[in-house]
Amino acid sequence: MSVRPSRLLLVVLLALAAGGPALAVQPDEMLPDRGLEARARGLSRELRCMVCQNQSIDDSDAPLARDLRILVRERLRAGDRDAQVLDFLTARYGDFVLLKPRFAWHTAVLWFGPPALLGAGALALLVVARRRRGAIAGAEAASLTTAEEARLAELTGARD
């Protein structure tokens, strides 16, 4: 029995379409209070998974991310404000736990470094372009004297 490639492709596409996004937050982690759960999800999107590092704990399936999600929900159930939860986790794990680090003197390089590097690169390109334009103009300005033109004509005429 032979399967046509187009039918196989259709089956694969349907199988991929049927699978929805996997949610990292497990049903046993969710809070019954919708307001607290919404706050917990918002905070979880701001916190970095210490294992994955480029994912929020809301998106990560790592066991540490699960522990952090549960910790966030426990702190919210205890009555902490969002800022208190973030302060608690920052005190425990450092600013690295925040996906978007707070602006402070010790994080100023994170905020001003990329624009400064971009500006320095643009300035370097501008300087190189001006120097090249000046070199080309200088080369055009250096014209041959009549003696040099005669010698050049003599040399090029001798080759022909």
Rounded-to-integer distance, Cα 89 and Cα 74, Å: 12
Tell me, what's the pLDDT at 33?
76
- E-strand stretches of 18-153: none
Tell me, what's the pLDDT at 17?
64
Residue 135, in any domain of the structure: yes
Rounded-to-integer distance, Cα 105 and Cα 103, Å: 7
Contact in structure between 77 and 43 (CB atoms under 8 Å) = no
113 and 92 together in one domain: no
Tell me, what's the pLDDT at 126?
93
Packing angle between helix 63-77 and helix 34-46, nearest 10 degrees?
130
Tell me, what's the pLDDT at 55?
85
- Residue 131 pairs with which residues in a beta bridge? none
Tell me, what's the pLDDT at 116?
92
pTM equals 0.55
Contact in structure between 24 and 60 (CB atoms under 8 Å) = yes
92 and 78 together in one domain: yes
Instruction: Look up residue 101 and give its two tokens.
Output: 């680090």
Say if residue 52 is exposed, middle or buried (CB neighbours under 10 Å; 0-12, 13-18, 19+): middle
Residue 97, in any domain of the structure: yes
Contact in structure between 66 and 72 (CB atoms under 8 Å) = no
38 and 93 together in one domain: yes
Residue 73, in any domain of the structure: yes
Instruction: Give the chain's length.
Output: 160
Q: What is the mean pLDDT of each run of 10 residues along the chain (160 residues)?
A: 69 65 62 81 87 82 87 89 90 85 79 91 93 74 79 77
Say if residue 68 is exposed, middle or buried (CB neighbours under 10 Å; 0-12, 13-18, 19+): buried
Q: What's the total number of domains in the chain?
A: 2
Question: Which CATH number does the domain housing residue 47 bear?
Answer: 1.10.8.640
